[in-house]
Structure formats: C-alpha cells, structure tokens
Amino acid sequence: MLVLMPGLREHVRLSSEIKDMIIADAVLTIAFALLYSGGVGGLRNDWIGFFYFLPISFMAVSLAFILHEYMHKMVAQRFGAIAAFKRWDSGIMITLVSSLFGFLIGLPGATMIYTNRFTEREDGLVSLAGPLTNFAVFIAFMAIGIIANSYFVVGKYINNAIGVTLFISVWLAFFNMLPVYPLDGSKVLRWNKKAYAVTMAVIFAFLYYVAGAAILPELAFALVIAFVFSVIYSGMRMF
C-alpha cells in the first residue's frame, strides 16, 4: 500500500525507514503464523502449530511484503518523488488482533510518497508496482513448486512453505488492489480501468489456483473490511 502526501520533505531518515520496515515485517510474520495456526483457538489448544508456521510466514512475508513496498518506493523515485516506508502503530494493533480471530487485516504501514506533481498516470504506475511484484513472487514460487515436485521428492514442510508463499503473495496483491482509498487499487482504477480489470483478473486466477472456489467468501469479507477501513481512514490522520 502507498499513500500520496501533499508537499515535499527534503530528508527521509533511512535508519527510521529500515526500523519501521523490520517492525512491520515482524508483525505480519506473527500475524500470518497466528492465522495459519488457528488464531487464539489454535494457541489455546496447541502452540506447536504457531512455531511450525512461523519460519514459513517469515520467508513468505519478507518476500511478498517487503518487495511490494520496495517497488512502490523505487518507481516513485523514478518519477522524481521522495518515498519512504512508515509504520502505522494503530494498524499494527489491528493486524495482530484480527489474526487472533481467524482473519487478517494487514495494515502495519505504507510507503509514503512526498510530491507536489504526480500525474494520475504516475500515481497509478507507482501503485501498480507493488501488486505486480507480488505476481513475480507468485510465479517464481509456482515454478519452483512444479519443478521441485516433478524432479525431486519434496517433503510436506517444503510444500507447505511454497503453498503459504503463493497464498500470502497473491492475498497481499488482492487486498491492496481493492478499489477503496488509500489502497493501491483506488489509484490504479482512477488512472486506467483496463489495467485495473486485467490485474484483478490475474489475481482471481492465482487465487483460484491456490484455493479454488472456497476462497470466495473470504474475498467478499475482505472487501467489506476494506470499505470499513476506508471510512475510518477518511476520518483520521494515518500518521
């Protein structure tokens, strides 16, 4: 996710950005591990599941989330903007609490873009860079899974790691492409409706590949949550 900010800041501390990214990555890692282990019910019955999924979640989140935000920054800088990731403390709490109850609202922070002169096209391209990066991660791990299972004897843990990485990558793309402000999808849709439609079509194809039709209720629920978040966000300052 990225947020376009009015005005221009000359200095963005790299050390602060790295710290915020590490915190956000850790939060999402824990949140997805909690989600996959059954949330608060899973923790109450058996802690093993949480620690089983923790390393898998760390790998998947570090690839899908960090690269997503990094590409927002790189493309924004290509267009002459100043960009930096900043964590959102309230969003961190929302992320962790939601994962305890069997669903995930991943809002640990966003890439902040500081510029006075972005066009709709530039804003759309910067926004699209994150989800497209998730596509690259998805395709890479899909290929790894196909090759590994075709030519090697792959254990259950490795297959689970590949499957979780596939899901987390495409789920982050889906959530960020929802057409509600300030998510990436709202800017892409405003810039180019065809680009938005094609991107969402690819996302649904990937989601079907990972989870089949059983994912549809979760997608509908995520859309409702995103609209609620949009309403809340519009009435408060994120940072």
Choice among 10, 17, 69, 218 that is catalytic: 69
CA dihedral 75, 79, 81, 85 (to 10 degrees): 0
The answer to whether residues 7 and 116 touch, using CB atoms and an 8 Å cutoff, is: yes
Which of 60, 59, 42, 41 is closest to 50 using CA atoms?
42
Is 69 an annotated catalytic residue?
yes
Angle between helices 14-36 and 89-100 (to 10 degrees): 10
Q: How far apart are CA 184 and CA 1, in angstroms?
A: 6
The number of beta carbons lying within 10 Å of the beta carbon of residue 232 is 12
239 residues of the chain, pLDDT tens digit each:
655 555 444 456 777 889 999 999 999 999 999 988 888 777 777 788 889 999 999 999 999 999 999 999 999 999 988 899 999 898 899 889 888 887 787 889 989 888 877 889 999 999 999 999 999 999 999 999 999 888 877 788 999 999 999 999 999 999 899 888 878 999 999 999 999 999 999 998 999 888 876 666 666 666 666 666 655 555 554 44
Radius of gyration of the chain (CA): 18
Which of 171, 177, 210, 183 is closest to 195 using CA atoms?
177
Q: Where do the structural domains in the chain lie, given as residue ranges?
A: 2-234
The number of beta carbons lying within 10 Å of the beta carbon of residue 179 is 18
Pull the structure tokens for residue 226: 């995103």
Give CA 190 to chain center in angstroms: 20
Q: Which residue reads 């994912």 in tokens?
A: 215
pTM score: 0.85
Burial class (CB in 10 A: 0-12, 13-18, 19+), 64: buried
The number of beta carbons lying within 10 Å of the beta carbon of residue 49 is 16
User: Which amino acid belongs to residue 97?
Assistant: V
